[in-house]
Amino acid sequence: MTEISSPVGLIAKRAQPNLWDGFAFALIIAVLAAVAHGAHGTVMPIATLERASISLSPWALPGYAVRTVMRMAAAMMASILFTFTYAPLAAKSARAGQILIPLLDILQSVPILGFLTFTVTAFMALFPGSVLGVEFAAVFVIFTSQAWNMAFSFYQALTTVPGDLEEAATNFQLSSWQRFWRLEVPLGMPGLVWNAMMSMSGGWFMVVASEAISVGSNTVALPGIGSYVAAALDARDLRGVAWAILAMTAVILAYDQLLFRPLVAWADKFKFEQTATEAPDDPWALKLVQRTRLMRALLAPVGRLLDLGAGLRLGRARRVTRQTRPRELNLAFDIVWYGMVAAGLGWSLWRMVSYLATSLRLADLVEAVELGALTFLRVLVLILLASLLWVPVGVWIGLRPSWARRVQSVVQFAAAFPANLLFPIAVVLIVRLHGSADIWLSPLMILGTQWYILFNVIAGASVFPGDLREVSANFGIRGRRWWTKVMLPGIFPYYVTGAITASGGSWNASIVAEVVNWGPTRLHAHGLGAYIADATKLGDYRRVVLGVAVMSAYVIATNRLLWRPLYEYAGRRLRFD
């Protein structure tokens, strides 16, 4: 009794394994075994892939699924690292933000698939003769479909911190490091988790394109669900496509249950306040960890170490009245800074014009601008229609945590479903109904990107302050007035984030949506996406560069003239100060 009643004895008793520890460790061992099996294939010589072919047997899909999930997880980790470095730098430095945010606009709109050959060559040079180089190239392509919306989401959270929380952090003399981890990261966590789910789902479209890579005259097919889908489509094996969709569904359900449901439940504690109506049940995976003894004892030091790291007083505390540099120094630094930016832009434009002028004329530029206007009109109409549909749905789901948990996996599957699998159906319907390709190919551009709006609106509605809902109910504010005066201002920053990423994604998707093939049938819509796709097919890289430059100009102009002012308006007027 004496031993048990002592502090050491009590700790030893609490750390004794129970049945839940057995389940948890069995799950961990299974995951580690799958990862080890998948990692073994990444260090093999590339010649083994060139000799092997993708098997359409459904028994091969479990192994392929493991390889695909590993690539998506690696891309997600890279996206998180990118988000936590890029977004704070853009938000906290006005001068850096003037470059980084337009650059982010360009990155999300540039059709990375058109430059896949160059990235593959670069990564394969780092790992000559090894599958690892092609694996890194595939991970990079998936990363480009995950990182941008996460960075925009975190940037939105950093630029719309409520004034009362800013004042509290200042009064407590939090250092810049403490402010970041104690205030800004928790504030942005609900939106970031939902955007991470969207990123994982959106990555499935790139998986199909990234796992079958052309290297010179050869095509290297990495084992995975994406390459399985590509092989099934090439063979017109509809049964194989069905098996791939079933495997993809199982994978989505697995990481939804094991990863995202616990993350959403964990992110709920970072809301402004909790209401009595919420009180959600924890997901079973989180309950499993909470009921363990040995695992919680092993994880406790890790939690204390992370908490200690977040509490370090690195950097200086922000003062209520702080000394600024003399106006003359600020003006001189601004002149030098803007001069460097102008010189860099001028040099880049000169190099691009010199490259294009060798074979293109002014008429080519006019053609690209006119086609860009058609694609711009499509994107604008599609974003408007998607907003009218998904904003009310997202608000309804976000205000009801129980329903949010129910539809979470369904929405993830809908967002993850590779839109290009629906292209053959669209071709058949348009041909049989004698529809116009310029009109009816347009919805294909937003099939995979409309979910950015839904996910961000759900995230915004889920953190909407309950006291404002109660006040509006007490004052009898309903109907259109409730939408215009209460809810839409509350979710507006989140909606703008979703609209920006959906818009950029739709521009990118126009490359494959404005020119659609199924067997001998080819449908072609007039637009900048078709212009770039045709130029890529012909190997006309100057027109590819011209098309990408014009597309980037349209995206930057739209974001600068429309979305960015709305962002600033949200930051000034629509915060709950």
pLDDT classification of 576: cutoffs 50, 70, 90 = very low
What pLDDT, in 10s, does the model give residues 31-56?
A: 788 777 777 767 777 766 655 677 88
**Can you tell me whether residue 317 is helix, strand or coil?**
strand
pLDDT band at residue 3 using 50, 70 and 90 as cut-offs: very low
The pLDDT of residue 277 = 46
pLDDT tops 70 at residue 1: no
> In whole angstroms, how far apart are CA 435 and each of 419, 442, 502?
20, 12, 26
Of 142, 137, 164, give the one whose Cα is nearest residue 73.
142
**Mean pLDDT lowest among 311-315, 500-504, 558-562:** 311-315
**CA separation for the pair 477, 474 (Å, rounded):** 8
Query: Is 127 part of any domain?
Result: yes
Rounded-to-integer distance, Cα 546 and Cα 532, Å: 9
Query: Looking at the domain assignment, is residue 342 inside a domain?
Result: no
Examine the pLDDT at 6 and tell me if it is beyond 60: no
Give the pLDDT of residue 281. 62
pLDDT over 70, % of the chain: 83
- Domain residues for the domain of 458 are 360-577
Confidence of residue 322 (pLDDT cuts 50, 70, 90): very low
| CATH of residue 365 | 1.10.3720.10
Q: Has residue 325 got a pLDDT over 70?
A: no
Number of H helices and E strands in the chain, helices first, is 29, 4
Q: Is residue 574 part of a domain?
A: yes
pLDDT band for position 2 (cuts 50, 70, 90)? very low
476 Cβ contact list (under 8 Å, min separation 6): none
CB 142 within 8 A of CB 207: yes
DSSP 280: P
The pLDDT, as a whole number, for residue 556 is: 81
What average pLDDT does the chain have? 78
Strand-pairing partners, residue 518, are 521
Asked whether residue 411 falls in the same domain as residue 552, the answer is yes
Residues 516 and 420 in one domain: yes
**What pLDDT score does 577 carry?**
47
Q: Rounded to whole angstroms, how far apart are CA atoms 438 and 237?
A: 29
Name the band, by pLDDT with cuts 50, 70 and 90, for residue 186: confident
In a domain, 491, yes or no: yes
pLDDT band at 320 (very low <50, low <70, confident <90, very high): very low
List helix spans (H) across 219-326: 225-234, 238-255, 261-267, 284-291, 294-310
| β-sheet bridge partners, residue 516 | 523
pLDDT in tens, 248-271: 888 888 888 888 888 887 877 776
Q: How confident is residue 80, by pLDDT bands cut at 50, 70 and 90?
A: very high
- Choose the weakest-confidence range: 25-39, 306-320, 332-346: 306-320
Asked whether the predicted pLDDT for residue 328 surpasses 60, the reply is no
Answer yes or no: do 299 and 405 share one domain. no
Q: Is residue 92 part of a domain?
A: yes
Residues 489 and 543 grouped into a single domain? yes
Q: Are residues 241 and 365 in the same domain?
A: no
SS3 76: helix
Together in a domain, 250 and 304: no
Q: Is residue 484 part of a domain?
A: yes
Alpha-carbon span 73 to 192, nearest angstrom? 16
Q: C-alpha 114: how far from its chain's center?
A: 20
Do 70 and 158 lie in a common domain? yes
**439 found inside a domain:** yes
Q: Tell whether 223 and 304 lie within a shared domain.
A: no
pTM for this one? 0.77
Range with the poorest average pLDDT among 59-68, 537-546, 568-577: 568-577
3-state class of 28 per DSSP?
helix
| Distance set, CA 171 to CA 28, 186, 192, 318, 572 (Å) | 44, 19, 27, 9, 22
Model pLDDT, residue 374: 92
Average pLDDT estimate for 185-193: 85
Identify the pLDDT of residue 177.
83
What value does the mean pLDDT take over residues 460-483?
80
Model confidence pLDDT, tens digit, residues 407-426: 777 777 777 776 666 777 77
Residue 464 phi, psi (nearest 5): -65, 130
pLDDT grade for 166, boundaries at 50, 70 and 90: confident
Interatomic CA distance for residues 138 and 215, integer angstroms: 13
- Residue 331 is predicted with a pLDDT of 66
pLDDT of 315: 63
pLDDT of residue 323: 45
463-467: average pLDDT? 77
Tokens matching residue 217: 């005259």
Of the candidates 218, 220, 216, the one whose C-alpha atom is nearest the C-alpha of residue 117 is 216
Residues 234 and 299 in one domain: no
90-104, 115-129, 365-379, 469-483: which has the highest mean pLDDT?
365-379
Do residue 497 and residue 552 come from a single domain?
A: yes
Residues 171 and 106 in one domain: yes
Residue 400: band (very low, low, confident or very high) from pLDDT cuts 50, 70, 90: confident
Query: Cα 413–133–254 angle (5° rounding)?
Result: 25
**Together in a domain, 370 and 294:** no
For residue 197, what pLDDT is reported? 83
Instruction: For residue range 209-263, list pLDDT tens digits in order.
Output: 677 765 555 567 788 888 888 788 777 777 888 888 888 888 888 888 888 888 8
DSSP 130: B
Q: What is the mean pLDDT of residues 64-83?
A: 90
- Residue 485 Cα distances to 58, 462, 482, angstroms: 53, 18, 5
Q: pLDDT value at position 391?
A: 92
**Does any domain span residue 10?**
no
Residue 84: band (very low, low, confident or very high) from pLDDT cuts 50, 70, 90:
very high
Q: Which of 560, 515, 521, 554 is nearest to 535 (CA)?
A: 515
Question: Where are any strands of DSSP class E within 326-468?
Answer: none
Phi, psi of 481 (to 5 degrees): -65, -35
- Cα–Cα dist 424/576, whole Å: 47
User: How many domains, in total, are found in the chain?
Assistant: 3
Q: What is the pLDDT of residues 379-394, one digit of tens each?
A: 999 999 999 999 999 8
